[in-house]
């Protein structure tokens, strides 16, 4: 079985045509392409999908057993989108039992996912689709106008500029321009953190995963609720300790709040990962190697966090019962050691997975 793969890395199918990946089968793929072309006739992904269907017909005409599929990523192209595509590809391989694949691409962005395909099956080649345009419309103004209609580009360029104008305008109208600048720095900092680490995508994936768990009755939903309860319990415990020491300086009370809440937050993260691991065992019949890496990383982050909190408390002149310096150094050193160990373990698992796969090959 040879699989013709078309990758929609930025999930235009989902955003514009409300088609969820993976899409498998000629009729389903053609329907998805028609829906996308109907919503946005200028999207090049529809051309790539039709090219994949054309290649499928060509292979079947030559007597080869073949199938076609579309893998969709995320509007925020990055780690999460590539991980989603990898999971979908694993699901399609389990369904079709394909031994080789052929990638159909409309540009270099989708071809960045070539290693994901090659690490799982033999890739026989790549076909790139070029879209011809009339020269009369290829002007700079037209290109910029069309680019500004892309939600991905607007989110990266227009949104930060709009936040600057909005916050500074409100602050100037209220006569608190200094606080406006401070608020602007905080908002932009949060925005950049979310954008850099794909936190918004992680939250969306968590909501989707929770919705799936509810519909399927997965045990992971119970673990998720328990972890959320632990997070809330951590905030409540820290808040009670914060109010119980009103005579201490504010910095000391904040440190006490963090000390009390960190334990529950670390435990919540471990419970969350445990629920995901159990779901993977029940759905795929094997224990995920990522659980060990995630748990070690969580413990390492917890040790470093406790070490930093204790270090700040140690440096405070009026802090009650400051911890020993040896304990602080041990916590921080242990945290870094666990983090390094998690990274080494992750690389080891990747090396084992690569050795277990046949060497990929590519034909023009």
Q: Quick one: which of 201, 123, 202, 176 has its CA closest to 363?
A: 123
- Give me the pLDDT at residue 363, please: 40
Torsion, CA 148, CA 153, CA 156, CA 160, rounded to 10: 20
- pLDDT-derived band at 59 (thresholds 50, 70, 90) equals confident
Rama region for 132: left / alpha / beta (φ>0; ψ in -120 to 50; rest): beta
**Confidence bin at 114 (pLDDT 50/70/90):** confident
In the chain, % of residues over pLDDT 90: 1
Averaged pLDDT score across all residues of the chain: 78
Q: Which of 72-76, 83-87, 143-147 has the lowest mean pLDDT?
A: 143-147
The tens digit of pLDDT for each residue in 3-58 reads 888 888 778 888 888 888 788 888 888 988 898 888 887 777 888 888 888 888 88
Which tens digits make up the pLDDT trace of 314-350? 887 766 666 778 888 888 899 899 888 888 888 887 7
User: What mean pLDDT do residues 274-288 have?
Assistant: 78
Q: How many CA atoms lie within 13 A of 173 on its CB side?
A: 6
Is residue 190 packed enough to be buried (19+ CB in 10 Å), middle (13-18) or exposed (0-12)?
exposed
pLDDT per residue over 199-236, tens digit each? 566 666 666 666 666 666 666 677 878 888 998 998 99
The model carries a pTM of: 0.49
Domain assignments of the chain as residue spans, ordered by start: 2-132, 135-197, 218-356
Per-residue pLDDT at 136 exceeds 60: no
Q: Which percentage of the chain shows pLDDT scores above 70?
A: 77
361 confidence band (pLDDT: 50, 70, 90) = very low
Contacts of 262 (CB under 8 A, 6+ apart): 234, 302, 305, 306, 309
Q: How many CB atoms lie within 10 A of CB 321?
A: 5
Is the pLDDT reported for residue 69 higher than 70? yes
Bridge partners (DSSP) of residue 67 are 3
């Amino acid at each position: 079985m040879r699989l013709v793969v078309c990758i929609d890395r930025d999930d235009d199918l989902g955003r514009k045509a409300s088609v969820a990946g993976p899409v498998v089968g000629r009729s389903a793929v053609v329907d998805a392409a028609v829906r996308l072309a109907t919503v946005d006739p200028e999207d090049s992904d529809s051309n790539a999908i039709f090219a994949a269907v054309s290649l499928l017909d060509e292979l079947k005409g030559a007597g080869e057993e073949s199938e076609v599929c579309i893998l969709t990523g995320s509007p925020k192209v990055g780690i999460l989108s590539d991980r989603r595509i990898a999971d979908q590809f694993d699901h399609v391989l389990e369904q079709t039992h394909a031994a080789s694949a052929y990638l159909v691409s409309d540009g270099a962005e989708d071809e960045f996912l070539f290693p994901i395909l090659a690490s799982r099956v033999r890739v026989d080649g790549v076909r790139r689709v070029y879209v011809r345009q009339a020269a009369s419309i290829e002007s700079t103004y037209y290109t910029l106008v069309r680019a500004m209609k892309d939600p991905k580009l607007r989110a990266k360029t227009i949104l930060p500029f709009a936040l600057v104008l909005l916050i500074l305008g409100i602050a100037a109208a209220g006569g608190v321009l200094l606080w406006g600048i401070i608020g602007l720095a905080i908002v932009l900092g949060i925005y950049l953190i979310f954008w850099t680490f794909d936190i918004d995508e992680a939250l969306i994936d968590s909501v989707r995963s929770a919705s799936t768990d509810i519909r399927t009755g997965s045990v992971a939903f119970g673990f998720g609720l328990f972890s959320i309860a632990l997070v809330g319990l951590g905030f409540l415990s820290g808040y009670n300790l914060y109010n119980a020491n009103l005579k201490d300086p504010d910095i000391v009370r904040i440190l006490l709040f963090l000390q009390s809440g960190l334990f529950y937050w670390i435990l919540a993260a471990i419970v969350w990962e445990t629920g995901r691991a159990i779901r993977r065992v029940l759905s795929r019949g094997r224990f995920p190697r990522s659980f060990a890496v995630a748990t070690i990383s969580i413990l390492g982050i917890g040790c470093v966090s406790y070490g930093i909190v204790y270090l700040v408390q140690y440096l405070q002149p009026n802090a009650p019962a400051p911890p020993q310096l040896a304990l602080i150094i041990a916590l921080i050193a242990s945290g870094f050691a666990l983090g390094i160990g998690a990274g080494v373990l992750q690389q080891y698992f990747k090396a084992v997975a690569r050795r277990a796969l046949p060497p990929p090959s590519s034909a023009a």
